[in-house]
Amino acid sequence: MSEQAESIIRLRSVTKEFERGGERLRVLENLDLDVGRGAFEALMGPSGSGKSTLLNLMAGLDRPSGGSIEIDRKRIDQMSEGELAAWRANNVGFVFQSYNLLPVLTAVENVELPLLLTPVASSERRKRAETALRVVGLQDRMQHYPRQLSGGQEQRVSIARAIVTDPILIVADEPTGDLDRKSADEILTLLETLNRTMGKTIVMVTHDPAAAERASMTRHLDKGRLKGEEAPNREPAWEAKT
Amino acid sequence: MTFTSLAARNILRNKLRTALTICGVAVAVITFLLLRTVLSAWTSAADFAAKDRVVTRHKITFVMQLPKRYIDQVRQMPGIKTATWANWFGGKDPKHENEFFASIAVDPGTYFEVYDEMEIPQDELDAFKADKRGVIVGDAIAKKLGWQIGQELTLESGIYAAPEGGEWKFTIRGIYTTKARSVDRSSVLFHWEYLNDGLPEARRDEIGWIVSRVGDAKQTADMGVKLDKVFDDQDVQTLSQDEASFNKSFLAGFSMVLKALNLVSLVILVIMALVMGNTIAMGVRERTSEYGTMRAIGFMPKHIVFFVLGEAMVLGLLGGLAGVGLGYPFVEKVLGRWIEENLGAFFPFFRVPPEWAVVALLLSMVEGLVAAGIPAWQASRIKVTDALRRVV
Ligand SMILES: Nc1ncnc2c1ncn2[C@@H]1O[C@H](COP(=O)(O)OP(=O)(O)OP(=O)(O)O)[C@@H](O)[C@H]1O
Ligand SMILES: [Mg+2]
């Protein structure tokens, strides 16, 4: 693989420990990681290997016990809870395994939710949410509530919610884990498209080798350590274009 | 969509639970209002007492009587505008054994001058004055027992035995009404002369109490002291109180009951907070992962607090509105009227004090906030990663 022009995610000697029943549990061990701008990476590994923990760290949901984390040239490991929350609102889009839509809000309102934290005006918020829903192909489901949607559709709403603030990074923890093959493929295609056409950097945790196939690179985590870097599945899409 | 509409959304989420909670709060608000109404009705006689009236009675107890000549001495006092007297008759209508009403022997010439808030048509008043056996009755008791003007009335007294070989017989000559909150609309008033003439020699010329009006209302309290001084070195000593203090000292006898009612009304507030607290806590618990999602997206702990408290406040407000909306008209149109007509001697004025309706409404909102305090704090403190882990 050629020397990457710039890494958007930069982890150095990151460790993460949890306290459980008075015992220290070391989940991530002295971990170095670089993810290039515009990459679509898959993260695989056995259950309990620390995939979600690692993803949470790079998304600013949690802070490391040691080491440094730089995202888009910003150190986030030393930010306060409040700073992190504001940083996440502006820089990260989240896609969860169980979609995590608010059941009391319609599709378009769910997508609008993150914009409440931005200075965007109310009418403009609605417009942007509608645009995001169009991007994921749900223009005719805007007023539906989550319970009126299929799992695949729910996940597409959640992807619209993740991109509506135009974040630099999208993290997805097993986004296809609850979906059947066909819906899973649709979601993966969507993520791929977002990566290719919009240049979004995506890190996706998955158990599904078929899903990992769609990413530009797959990394393997085992017992808190990254195994030797895998060859890219293909050229990173964004870089290939530039 | 705004922060506020987002907070409001959750109210309608579990409609049954919300409805039950609103009912619970409404019941608590109604009970609270009733208690406050009883308390204020009880004390309203004191609150609305005339400022210029002084009641003079036996120093030891109001059961004991004063010599009739005291009335003349009172009338001679400088500063006294007018004075009247009355005896408690303790009468009952044998046809309505279980009806309680006040029956009082009064001086027809002066009683309605002193109690000028009682309204009687002039011709009825004249007819009453002209007939020694005439009575004037309150409109509430007249309506209730179907009494008509011109009708004969026989009363039995627990205090005064009937005149020898006869009965206490009266003719209804008039019906009084009143707009004053302190006046009972169920009293029966008749000529003191008739009572006095029917008594054995030894019991004659004794009066129950004297009520006088003072020319200058600011002098009312002083006048009481002056009057008592006049009678200090006579055979029977007196205790004079302005009407407001008189009513208050009467109420003092019920102070334990009043305290108990006050306490119960506070307990109701606690129950209301618990009802709401329970609902809010359940809702917050169910939504842990949603709050986790929102925190991940970038919402701050203060936003979560806002959502939980906002929901609680709306819940309290809805419960309060339901309670006041049902309770107020019920007391005003149904219960209050019934009580005024049937229990007027105790509660001449039984209406929800509007200020307490407002207080109840505000309290239900504030209580919602208080009840939601701990759940809100807990929801805001939860670690995002922990909240998200619960989903899977
Ligand atoms: N908040 C926490 N407190 C204590 N232990 C934790 C916490 N979060 C994670 N762990 C532990 O850290 C280890 C890694 O957890 P993590 O969720 O990152 O695994 P994972 O690779 O995502 O697994 P899975 O594939 O099952 O999702 C596990 O042993 C887990 O029990
Ligand atoms: Mg995981």
Confidence of residue B258 (pLDDT cuts 50, 70, 90): confident
Q: Please name the fold of domain A36-63+80-226.
A: Rossmann fold (3.40.50)
pLDDT in tens, A65-92: 999 999 999 999 999 999 999 999 999 9
When pLDDT is cut at 50, 70 and 90, the band that residue A242 belongs to is very low
Average pLDDT value for residue range B251-275: 87
- Over residues B106-130, the mean pLDDT reads 95
Distance CA(A94)–CA(A158), nearest Å, equals: 8
Contact between B130 and B124 (Cβ < 8 Å): no
Q: Does B229 touch chain A (CB under 8 A)?
A: no
Which phi and psi angles does A102 have, rounded to 5°?
-80, 120
Query: Looking at ligand 1, which residue's alpha carbon is closest to its atom 4?
Result: A18
Whether B123 shows a pLDDT value over 70: the answer reads: yes
- Residue A2 pLDDT: 43
**Which residue's alpha carbon is at the smallest distance from atom 7 of ligand 1?**
A18
Cβ contact, residue pair A88, B296, below 8 Å: yes
Confidence of residue B127 (pLDDT cuts 50, 70, 90): very high
| Gap from CA of A84 to ligand 2 centroid (Å) | 21
**CB-based contact (8 Å) between B386 and chain A?**
no
Task: Return d(Cα B384, Cα B288) in angstroms, integer.
Answer: 9
Most confidently predicted of A190-194, B177-181, B249-253? A190-194
Out of B296, B299, B300, name the one closest to residue A94 (CB).
B296
Confirm if B199 and B160 have CB atoms less than 8 A apart: yes
Would the pLDDT of B45 be above 80?
Answer: no
Mean per-residue pLDDT, B59-78? 90
C-alpha distances (whole Å) from B254 to each of B7, B50, B182 are 47, 22, 18
Q: Does B6 touch chain A (CB under 8 A)?
A: yes
Of all residues in chain B, the one with the smallest CA distance to A163 is B297
> Is the minimum CB–CB distance between B14 and chain A shorter than 8 Å?
no
| Cβ–Cβ contact B267 with A under 8 A | no
Pocket of ligand 1 contains residue A49 by CB under 6 Å = yes
| pLDDT at site B241 | 87
Confidence category of residue A146, pLDDT binned at 50, 70, 90: very high
Distance CA B373, CA B392 (A): 28
- A104 to B10: CB separation less than 8 angstroms, yes or no: yes
Q: At what angle do helices B255-286 and B15-47 cross, to 10 degrees?
A: 160
Q: How high is the pLDDT of residue B62?
A: 74
- Cβ–ligand 1 distance for A46 under 6 Å, the answer no
Cβ–ligand 1 distance for A222 under 6 Å, the answer: no
The ipTM (two decimal places) reads: 0.91
Burial A190-226 (b: 16+ CB within 10 A, else e): bbbebbbeeebbbbbbbebeebbebbbbbbbbeebeb
Per this entry, what is the length of chain A?
Answer: 242
pLDDT at res. B339: 84
Which residues in chain A have their CB less than 8 angstroms from residue B384's CB? Answer: 61-62
Nearest CA to ligand 1 atom 18: A50
- Interface contact B391, partner A, CB < 8 A: yes
Q: Which residue of B has its CA nearest to A88?
A: B298
Q: What is the 3-state secondary structure (H, E, C) of chain B?
A: CCHHHHHHHHHHCCHHHHHHHHHHHHHHHHHHHHHHHHHHHHHHHHHCCCCCEEEEEECCCCCCCEECCHHHHHHHCCCEEEEEEEEECCEECHHHCCCCCCEEEECCCCHHHHCCCEECCHHHHHHHHHCCCEEEEEHHHHHHHCCCCCCEEEEEECCCCCCCCCCEEEEEEEEEEECCCCCCCCCEEEEHHHHHHCCCHHHCCEECEEEEEECCHHHHHHHHHHHHHHHHCCCCCEEEEEHHHHHHHHHHCCHHHHHHHHHHHHHHHHHHHHHHHHHHHHHHHHCHHHHHHHHHHCCCHHHHHHHHHHHHHHHHHHHHHHHHHHHHHHHHHHHHHHHHHHCCCCCCCCCCCHHHHHHHHHHHHHHHHHHHHHHHHHHHHCCHHHHHHCCC
Q: Is A206 in the pocket of ligand 1 (CB under 6 A)?
A: no
Contact B298 A89 (CB under 8 A): yes
pLDDT tens by residue, A21-46: 889 999 999 999 999 999 999 999 99
Give, for ligand 1, the residue of A51, A63, A220, A223 to mutate: max count of ligand atoms closer than 8 Å to Cβ.
A51
SS3 A53: helix
Q: Which one of B2, B389, B391 has the shortest CB-CB distance to A100?
A: B391
> Which secondary structure element, helix H or strand E, spans residue A192, and what is its range?
helix A181-198
Q: In DSSP terms, which residues pair with B240 in a beta bridge?
A: B56
CA distance A234 to chain B (A): 31
User: Which has the higher per-residue pLDDT, A145 or B258?
Assistant: A145
Inspect the interface and report whether the beta carbons of A112 and B1 lie closer than 8 Å: yes
Which chain A residues are Cβ-neighbours of B305 within 8 angstroms? none
Specify the pLDDT at position A233.
63
Gap from A196 CA to chain B (nearest CA, Å): 24
Higher pLDDT, B1 or B138: B138
pLDDT tens for residues A160-192?
A: 999 999 999 999 999 999 999 999 999 999 999
Are the beta carbons of B298 and A88 separated by less than 8 Å? yes
- Share above pLDDT 90 across residues of chain B, in percent, rounded to a whole number: 62
Residue type, A25: L
For chains A and B, count residue pairs whose Cβ atoms are closer than 8 Å: 72
pTM of the model: 0.73
Tell how far the Cα of A222 is from the centroid of ligand 2, in angstroms. 13
Nearest CA to ligand 1 atom 6: A18
pLDDT tier at B257, thresholds 50, 70, 90: confident
Residue A240 is predicted with a pLDDT of: 41
CA distance A89 to chain B (A): 4
Judge whether B151 and B137 are in contact, CB under 8 Å: no
Confidence grade of residue B22 (pLDDT, cut at 50, 70, 90): very high
CB distance A113–B294 less than 8 Å? yes
Domain ranges of chain A: 36-63+80-226
**Best residue in B306, B388, B389 to probe A by mutation, most A CBs within 10 Å?**
B388
